[in-house]
Amino acid sequence: MKSFLKSAMSLALMGLLASCGGHKLEDRTVKSPIGAQTRNNDSMKYLPITKLPGHWTVEDVLHDYATYSAQKLTPYFKKAKVPYPPSEVIFLALKQERKLELWARGDGEFRFIRDYDIQAASGVSGPKLRQGDRQVPEGVYRIVSLNPNSHYHLSMRLDYPNEFDLYHADQEGRTDPGGDIFIHGKAASIGCLAMGDETIEELFVLAAQVGKENVKVVIAPRDPRVLPLDTDAASLPEWTAELYDQISSEIQVLSPPVSVSKNVATQQNGRQ
């Protein structure tokens, strides 16, 4: 009996670790804003506040990372002539290029802010169809929740499967299209977008400050501004053409990105 219980507990722990949204299993210490600003300095100081596993809040994350993240992002927003924080944000993920572009707007049009390397994204080109296929989904999504207790540092949950995904799953008799798709930290993926810890801190803080209802996430197999999306592969469902039209329409309204990231990086390096 003891052996059975031990095995059951081990399996449950493995299941927790397999989920992008699971809680971390170690304590986290809330850093002061001063510490967050100097996180790359050996003299980083911490407030004597320890949070138990699973007890961090979004407010704790903002307390810990908002000042530092804003300092990093503000020069990019200033270069793009967009106020920080903006009123709306688009995260554009390009699977083939392994890039996530950040677009934002104040009162005017969306402008390119900067891009980030996607550290890991499992699967191949094509939409996600079922649980366990390890595919990063493709489509137009929203962020439904911010998880400050992810064992992938921080995570933002997408509304996959959305109405489009559920409709076509029902039409094809697919009863388990999967779920639990996140943008998160670290560099490992089982269907999610892994961005690394420092990047997810910036994106998480930005989403929290803007409001998750004002963040759109577009995931494409590749950049249709460079080459139209191909639906000729025999492995793709017939409705992929409709999906790719939706994705292309969302992306084509965005002006071609300029090299803001490189320009700002050069200026920042020149000041050091």
The answer to whether the beta carbons of residues 95 and 242 sit under 8 Å apart is: no
Tell me which of 151, 153, 168, 184 is the catalytic residue.
184
Active site residue 192: yes
Could you count the other beta carbons within 10 Å of the beta carbon of residue 239? 15
Q: Which of 261, 24, 250 is nearest to 148 (CA)?
A: 24
Query: What span, in angstroms and rounded, lies between the C-alpha atoms of 42 and 59?
Result: 25
Tell me which of 20, 151, 168, 192 is the catalytic residue.
192
Active site residue 184: yes
Q: What is the dihedral of CA 91, 191, 12, 166, to 10 degrees?
A: 80
Binning the chain into helix, strand and coil, the percentages to the nearest 5 are 35, 20, 45
- Strand 155-158 vs strand 182-184: parallel, antiparallel, or unpaired? antiparallel
If you compute the radius of gyration of the chain from its CA atoms, what whole number of angstroms results?
Answer: 20
Query: What span, in angstroms and rounded, lies between the C-alpha atoms of 207 and 184?
Result: 13
Query: What span, in angstroms and rounded, lies between the C-alpha atoms of 224 and 49?
Result: 48
Burial class of residue 87 (count of CB atoms within 10 Å of its CB; 0-12, 13-18, 19+): middle
- By annotation, the residues acting in catalysis are 184, 192
